[in-house]
Amino acid sequence: MNTIPETQNEPKQLQRLAAQRHLYSTAKRLLGMEVLLGAPIAIAWAVAATGIPRVSGYAAFWGVLVSLSDVLWLNPWQKRLRERAAQIQEAFDCDILQLPWSDIKVGNRPDPELIKEQADKFQKGSSRVSPLHNWYPPIVGELPIQVARVVCQRSNCWWDSKQRRRYAAWVIAGLVFTVVTILGVGLVGGLTIEKFLLAVVVPMAPAIILAIRQCTEQIEAATRIDKLKDHAERLWFGAFSDAADQELLARSRAIQDEIFENRKRSPLVFDWIFRRLRSSYEKQMNHGAVEYAQEAKRKLRLI
């Protein structure tokens, strides 16, 4: 019915997936550096300051320094890497789902030299990451392309929303636990409000800001993706109406524009969390794709 199962596993497409995965991984390592500087080290400063008052000034200085590094260096660098990765993923999706490229939304196509460079770097650590074959459930190959692409877009949205909501819940739990622990240490140490603010709150400000930002951005991204999933589901029903193929293509392209925008804007999820969730979520995603594919085949009287 369509060539999605075969095309997505061609060397050119796998190279694109490898490149975007490495760019995302690089951005996640920067996020890890941000977390390390803003959380464990800041917490260590805060704990030390509760017992050694003379280090309070140094602890406060560390908090300010990390906050400035985040705003002026680490966060902008991550955004650039996310955008490049999203553009490469978009090139993959446009080929696989037979969608036109959107210059206005996405900009220029990614340079092949960049894809080659990043894919080669990915291959060096490929033993530590998930395989790239069968990015979309192979069953969609049994459907007409105008239906198959919507099933793939819906699967994209479902997967992304699910992992982001789980990650946000973990961040909230970690933040609450850390704040309560440090507050308890400060109370036991008999710190005054002034000393507690200087010795604990200021050094921990980067960690608290990072956690709050991560949580709110993940939930906001998941909410946007859920709305996209709803649009994809409505378009799926529309694929069985009298709508012309060009109209369905235009609506799929509009959904893809928002998928790209979300990939570019959304906060990162660490690879170790992705690997932990991948197995169970992939089974659920494939099950959902099978259900939609079987229903589509019934509607199209293919079974």
Q: Give the three-class secondary structure for 99.
A: coil
> What are the C-alpha distances in Å from 159 to residues 96, 97, 127, 210, 283?
18, 18, 23, 24, 11
Q: Cα 163 to the chain's mean position, in Å?
A: 8
Comparing 176 with 39, the larger pLDDT belongs to 176
pLDDT for 2 beyond 80? no
Find where tokens 């050119």 sit. Answer: 12
Whole-model pTM: value is 0.78
What residue type is assigned to position 114 of the chain? L
CA distance 281 to 290: 14
Classified as helix, coil or strand, 2 is: coil
Q: Report pLDDT digits (tens) over 240-263.
A: 776 677 888 999 999 999 999 989
For residues 32-58, average pLDDT: 67
Q: What residue segments make up the domains of the chain, in order of their start?
A: 4-130+141-299
Dihedral pair phi/psi, residue 134, rounded to 5°: 55, 55
Residue 202 pLDDT: 67
Show the DSSP H helices in 142-270 as ranges. 145-188, 193-196, 202-238, 245-265
Summarised one tens digit per residue, pLDDT across range 115-173 is 999 999 998 865 454 578 889 988 888 888 988 999 999 988 888 888 888 888 888 88
